[in-house]
Amino acid sequence: MAKRVYQVWKGNNRFIFGGRLIFGPNARSLFITISLVVVPVVIFCIFVARHLFHKFPSYNAGYAILVVAIVFTVYVLFLLMLTSAQDPGIVPRASHPPEEDFSYDISTMIMSAGRRTPSLHFTRIKEVMVNGMPVKVKYCDTCMIYRPPRCSHCSICNNCVERFDHHCPWVGQCIGLRNYRYFFLFVSSSALLCIYVFAMCALYIKFLMDGEYHTVWKALKHSPASVVLMIYSFISLWFVGGLTGFHLYLISTNQTTYENFRYRTDNRRNVFNRGCLNNFIEVFCTKMKPSINDFRAFVQEEPPRPPPSARVPELDNDSVSYPRSKVEDDLDIGSDLLKISKRRNIEEFDEEMGKNDNTSQSEFLSALETQLSGNRIDMPATRTDARSSSWGRRSSSWEMSTEIQGGSGNLMTEKEREIEERKE
């Protein structure tokens, strides 16, 4: 059965609803963030907002305080889900390294088994032009791609993300090109919600002081929930409010959190800065880039590919050679030894047989191979007796076996001939 992309995804993401929603590996922290928003608002609605219904008698304006708190909370949670549950701008991984960028470096040689081999060279940094300025892009070993400008690899999600800002543990997701807008709106809306809750609690304390409780202490003692909410909102405002101000600065200068912390000490020009107004327009008024990944698509099996290769420069065989297997080396050595042995046997045979010998070298070699395999050797009958005795002496020098020496009269030594003559 064919699998879908989200089922074989190599990153650390979590998918729900059949790959329709994608979260980071620490998506459980999202429940903590939701509770930090919802619980204070529920306390506010029960212990503060409902007591303000009749404080504004005209047009029942007191009910608007409760409605605004609920609607604002739903809006914040909606932005939180948009930030956390969608593709932040993940760059798909490659199935193999870019072969066109492999090359052999002749200047660097590797000695292997007595052979000089050019080392394999791979360009890990390239330069691309952005707004007329060169920008370096690096190769990612995990994703096997050259990262686009402003792209970085998140070690938590194990993905390369376009315009990577940071990995936010509060939303359990990377903040990148496709969700940075929603992340900023979530943070800024949370800051406004804190201000709203703090202001309504302070207003309720004021109404208490104008009524039966004439001192601040009596009013705070009568509504401890308002005190807790004011303290909580004040502390939260320092966090989300400070974060909002920091990202306003980043947007106005067209930076990311990653770039700001990494290149803060470098006096380099920001090639992405197009002016304050254009930078805000780029973040909030441009069309959202569609996701490159289709997590619900079926996986297409690729045919097996050969290992990465590179165009090897044409070099002199005497100066450079390339690694070979041990089997190939053994076969070459055995072939060389066989050629040397045959050549020596031919030279010795020519010296003994003379230039006018009618027996060819090929017949001699075939006879020798047959003799070594255990068969009899019948040399041509055109040889003279002198040549036969010479052949016998050569066979003696080769230390042939007794079976071979007695197998043919042409192979008998001079001593054996004398013994035979005496017997006769």
Instruction: Report the distance separating Cα 67 and Cα 78, nearest Å.
Output: 16
pLDDT at 89: 94
Is the Cβ–Cβ distance between 186 and 171 less than 8 Å? yes
**pLDDT for 167:** 95
- How many angstroms separate the CA atoms of 317 and 326, rounded? 19
pLDDT tens-place string over residues 294-317: 999 998 766 655 555 544 454 444
168 as an active site residue: the answer is: yes
Give me the phi and psi of 127, to 5 degrees please: -120, 130
- CA–CA separation, 28 and 356 (whole Å): 99
Helix (H/G/I), strand (E/B), else coil: 103: strand
Cβ atoms of residues 176 and 162 within 8 Å: yes
Quote the pLDDT of residue 52. Answer: 87
Location of structure tokens 């780029």 = 282
CA–CA distance, 179 with 157 (Å, rounded to integer)? 15
Cβ-count burial of 135 within 10 angstroms (0-12 exposed, 13-18 middle, 19+ buried)? Answer: middle
Q: CB 421: neighbour CB atoms within 10 A?
A: 8
Q: Print burial letters for 348-384: b (CB count within 10 Å at least 16), e (below 16).
A: ebeeebeeebebeeeebeebeeebeeeeebebeeebe
Helix 62-84 to helix 29-47 angle, to the nearest 10 degrees?
A: 180
Show me where the domains of the chain are located: 5-92+161-284, 99-146, 326-423
| Amino acid 370: pLDDT | 58
Q: What is the pLDDT of residue 124?
A: 80
Catalytic, out of 143, 154, 157, 168: 168
What tens-digit pLDDT sequence spans the chain (424 residues)? 788 999 999 999 999 999 999 999 988 999 999 999 999 999 999 999 988 887 777 667 788 999 999 999 999 999 999 999 999 999 999 888 876 666 655 555 554 445 555 555 667 888 888 877 888 889 998 998 999 999 999 999 999 999 999 999 999 999 999 999 999 999 999 999 999 999 999 999 998 888 787 788 888 888 899 999 999 999 999 999 999 999 999 999 999 999 998 887 677 788 899 999 999 999 999 998 899 999 999 987 666 555 555 444 544 444 444 444 444 555 555 566 556 666 666 666 566 565 445 555 556 556 555 555 554 444 444 444 444 444 444 443 334 444 434 444 444 455 556 655 655 5
- What pLDDT, on a 0 to 100 scale, did the predictor assign at position 263? 80
1 and 299 Cβ atoms separated by less than 8 Å: no
